[in-house]
Structure 1
């Protein structure tokens, strides 16, 4: 319910003081050979990104259905990630080298059960050749209501595009690298890029509206659970993808 409420608010017209731009999208994913959870998953993802006079906001929520499972075969997961720009808040140019801005990065991870984690740390916007954007965030992970133990995470995110005929291919995604905690949470790496063709331009829609492609999901020690011979937790999955921006 909280995810639906937040998604509704974020997707509403830009009637908020300080909002400079926004983008919303829905993505359908289908993939097989997942680990930990049932093997075949279908996911519908709502994403919101926006720029504000204080920084930027990214939010997503995944509604996942597990194929071939009777009874409780659905789950919900989301992240709310506001970042606070030192450059915007001070009105000063804080760029140096490839760094265009310095930010306070925060994320709240939420889901069913005891999925409840706060992340906070420094963030950096980088100007790198060939990239539409490149962000690098460093977090302290603070799980709430669990006994995983605090740990640290590094997350780069990026987007780049390549002209193809009268359309384009977009390559974007993220990497989450999390170190071991001093308790039960095992180090893990989640590499999640998307390679998408802008089909909308071919069909007469505006640029950056309708995409088809694939999402690759590699997760070593998924959910921080150690991979063993008896219980495999490392996955390598290629999802089919359809994404619409509005």
Structure 2
């Protein structure tokens, strides 16, 4: 695991612990997912990935925090460097903080199907070792959020994205200076909705991102609008192993990602991923 990945995991674990101490409620989880149909731009092969995740969500008097970091281990179809026989490694961290404007103002901002109105800000941060691009993404996000009145939660946000990257090409050995894309918009939704089928405890969880074009890329090419939908059906198997509710979950997941990272999928089959996965989670 890279030095960045180790440091980020430690920082997020410390932040999660601190947030849990100050929070009215919290949920920290470790999860694993696996699929064989991952895709990467400019790579026409199916890629297998093992993905380990640490996440924490917590709520306090005026809002909530969300931390997540994925550690993604690719098969040799997505090599770690030119000519390598091992797969690429990636760490991708996300942080979001949502302020509940109704709780701050002491006003009831509910209307129609909306139970609350918020303001969200945060960042994405990644590093990857691969044969060509070696992403070093940095992104700040901010915008309004509507919290819908459903069982569980469904939050919809319209965020402005300020993204940059500074890739290193292992073929040419050229380090690209950090390049900032045009500020662009993302309509995003995140949800976790519990339900039952003949008494079996299930949940429908996931997120959907619809991202506008971010202008020219760092090499002068056009970028494309992205659609990234990741959803899963999870079974709460906690009762079967005599554990508290929502401790152990297993399920299936599917991701559809068109024009991945803004790369147009015209003559670029790897820029659109259609990936089924299996998933397991431990919550504490």
TM-score (norm. length: structure 1): 0.91
1:36 lines up with 2:3 in the alignment: no
Aligned partner of 1:234 among 272, 275, 278: 272
For the 8 Å contact 2:120–2:143, the answer to whether it is kept is yes
Residue of structure 2 equivalent to 1:168: 201
Aligned partner of 2:163 among 117, 137, 143: 143
SS in 1 for 2:21: coil
State the distance in 2 between where 1:15 and 1:35 align: 39
| CA positional deviation for 1:194 | 1.1
- Matches for 1:13-28 after TM superposition, within 5 Å: 14-16=20-22, 19-28=23-32
For the 8 Å contact 2:98–2:120, the answer to whether it is kept is yes
Residue of structure 1 equivalent to 2:220: none
- Matches for 1:1-246 after TM superposition, within 5 Å: 1-12=6-17, 14-16=20-22, 19-36=23-40, 39-68=47-76, 69=79, 70-71=85-86, 73-112=88-127, 113-128=135-150, 131-144=151-164, 145-165=178-198, 167-184=200-217, 185-246=223-284
Larger mean Cα displacement after TM superposition, 37-46 or 153-162: 37-46
Consecutive unaligned residues in structure 1, runs of 5 or more: none
State the distance in 1 between where 2:196 and 2:64 align: 27
For the 8 Å contact 1:85–1:104, the answer to whether it is kept is yes
> Which structure is larger by alpha-carbon Rg, 1 or 2?
2
Question: Root-mean-square deviation (CA), in Å?
Answer: 1.8
Consecutive unaligned residues in structure 2, runs of 5 or more: 1-5, 80-84, 128-134, 165-177, 218-222
For the 8 Å contact 1:167–1:202, the answer to whether it is kept is no
| CA positional deviation for 1:206 | 1.3
State the distance in 2 between where 1:158 and 1:180 align: 25
| CA positional deviation for 1:232 | 2.9
| CA positional deviation for 1:125 | 0.5
| CA positional deviation for 1:11 | 3.4
For the 8 Å contact 1:162–1:170, the answer to whether it is kept is yes
| CA positional deviation for 1:64 | 0.7
Count of paired positions: 242
For the 8 Å contact 2:224–2:262, the answer to whether it is kept is yes
